Amino acid sequence: MRIVMQIKCKVSFTLSLIVLAALFSPLVGRACSIFYPTVHVGTGFRVRVMDRGRPVHSLKLVLNDYESSVSGRKKPVYSVTDADGYANFANLTSGSFFLTTDHDGGVSDGVDVIVSFNGATNVTVPLTWPNSNPLEVRSASGTLRGPDFYPQQTQAFASVSLLEGISAHVVNTTQTDNKGKFRFANTIPPGIYFLRLNPSGLRTFDGEQIEGMIPIEINPDAVQDVIDLDLGWSSCGLGYAQRGKYPEMKVNKLCGDVADEIDAVISNAQVVLLANGENAEILEETRSGTDGQFALREHDEGTYQLLVKSPGFQPFLRVMHMDTSETSEGCQQPIRVRLKIP
């Protein structure tokens, strides 16, 4: 299931509101409204957890009773997936429950479960873990840039832990430097892990603590060598974007529009033009208008970086080559910036 994070992190295409979502995920709550599908079952049902078509084994699942989660009278019910990704829950009492995995990065996949004595007993509930596709990299080292990295070009030190995926056991902990770079001392074998940002000096503009977990997969055949992330923060928690290797865009004017993946306009997005290179300085900055459009002044021919950021979305970063040999009136070749949901 995919969580759409707008300014209020409103989700509109799933089925049932989890009123107590903040009890089950540290990144949900505050201004967020999270919706999950609902299933009706008998006093026992089965769950299957998959990761991109592959069964997930030995993963702990949690079934929380809504009413007792508030009163604290009952403890959660746990189950563990087998080699085929299946887990069973049996001898349940009637009531409303929330099913999710024991841990995940960001917002965990989950289901609102209604249990009744005359409900169906042959139900298999599907879950996805990790809920967001892991970032595939060849090495667990890399760079984490906080929301305030630009224009200072430096940031506070951040504490980072690497957790084994299934067990959530801490493999190692290190600290970033003032450029956001980090490296774990030991060689990390292939597999799924979580990169956890611990409470530290990395904060938002208004002083709010940045923390959370990012799923990664160490794969010797991955396209990306290292983790290279621009971090974002909203009322729904941590957002991030891996700097991919995209083709250079050739333009004669730095103008265009900002929208989300379904072409809904994003106004007041931060639009920053950077010099190209590792220590890129800010050359110009503006905001998208109420119609999502933006325009930067004319610059000399050369290579630049365009960074676009908005709360609740992954940052957009592309290399732009300014070609001043062709001039035109207006924005004849608009840059279509489409911000993605973390």
Domain total for the chain? 3
Residue 111 lies in a domain: yes
Other CB atoms within a 10 A radius of the CB of residue 304 amount to: 21
Same-domain status, 112 and 52: yes
Same-domain status, 156 and 78: no
Which of 242, 263, 290 is the last residue in one of the domains? 242
Same-domain status, 213 and 181: yes
Residue 233 lies in a domain: yes
The domain that contains 143 carries what CATH number?
2.60.40.180
With beta carbons less than 8 A apart as the criterion, state whether 11 and 4 touch: yes
The domain that contains 259 carries what CATH number?
2.60.40.10
pLDDT tier for residue 68 given thresholds of 50, 70 and 90: low
CA distance 291 to 26: 34
Same-domain status, 51 and 100: yes
Residue 153's region, left for phi above 0, alpha for psi from -120 to 50, else beta, is left
Same-domain status, 103 and 173: no
End-to-end Cα, the chain, rounded Å: 12
Residue 8 lies in a domain: no
Residue 6 lies in a domain: no
Same-domain status, 259 and 218: no
Residue 71 lies in a domain: yes
Q: What is the pLDDT of residues 242-277, one digit of tens each?
A: 876 677 888 888 999 999 999 999 999 999 998 887
Same-domain status, 158 and 226: yes
Same-domain status, 117 and 92: yes
Mean pLDDT, range 308-337, rounded to an integer? 83
Most confident stretch, 2-11, 36-45, 201-210: 36-45
Which of 192, 208, 242 is the last residue in one of the domains? 242
Same-domain status, 193 and 209: yes
Q: What is the pLDDT of residues 206-229, one digit of tens each?
A: 788 899 999 999 999 999 999 999
For the record, the structure tokens of 316 come out as 């957009």
Which of 220, 242, 264 is the last residue in one of the domains? 242
Residue 36 lies in a domain: yes
Residue 9 lies in a domain: no
With beta carbons less than 8 A apart as the criterion, state whether 197 and 158 touch: yes
pLDDT tier for residue 162 given thresholds of 50, 70 and 90: very high
Same-domain status, 111 and 63: yes
**What's the maximum distance between 2 C-alpha atoms anywhere in the chain?**
75
CA distance 169 to 199: 18
Q: What is the pLDDT of residue 91?
A: 94
Same-domain status, 63 and 108: yes
Same-domain status, 256 and 315: yes
Helix (H) or strand (E) holding 71: helix 66-71
pLDDT tier for residue 127 given thresholds of 50, 70 and 90: very high
340-315-170-81 Cα dihedral, nearest 10 degrees: 0
Residue 4 lies in a domain: no
| Strand partners of residue 318 | 306
Structural domain of residue 209, as residue ranges?
135-242
Mean pLDDT, range 141-167, rounded to an integer? 89
Residue 264 makes CB contacts below 8 A (sequence gap 6+) with none
